[in-house]
Amino acid sequence: MRKRLSPEIFSRSIAEIKANLRSWMVAERNGWYIKLSIYKDENILLIFVSKYTAQTIIRYFNCEDDAVKYINFVIDHSAEEEVQL
């Protein structure tokens, strides 16, 4: 049987996430909308959406260097064509 979270525990969890989450405004590069969020200075979430095809790519990284390489990989591709991953 699954244990249900009490409202107090749930509220504390949400507050903890909000306190440790940094997020930036959406940026547009080469036809891609890019959203970047960082949790606890170590977990990186990238969300890409093509301006033309609405293709959505969501990736999670622990390493900043890998995240930067992936950002460059995606924006080097045309947003008008589907990226084959």
In a domain, 6, yes or no: no
Q: The domain containing residue 30 runs over which residues?
A: 22-75
- pLDDT tens for residues 18-68? 888 899 999 999 999 999 999 998 899 999 999 999 999 999 999 999 999
Helix (H) or strand (E) holding 63: none
In a domain, 3, yes or no: no
In a domain, 4, yes or no: no
pTM for the structure as a whole: 0.78
In a domain, 67, yes or no: yes
Quote the number of domains for the chain.
Answer: 1
53 DSSP 8-state letter: T
In a domain, 32, yes or no: yes
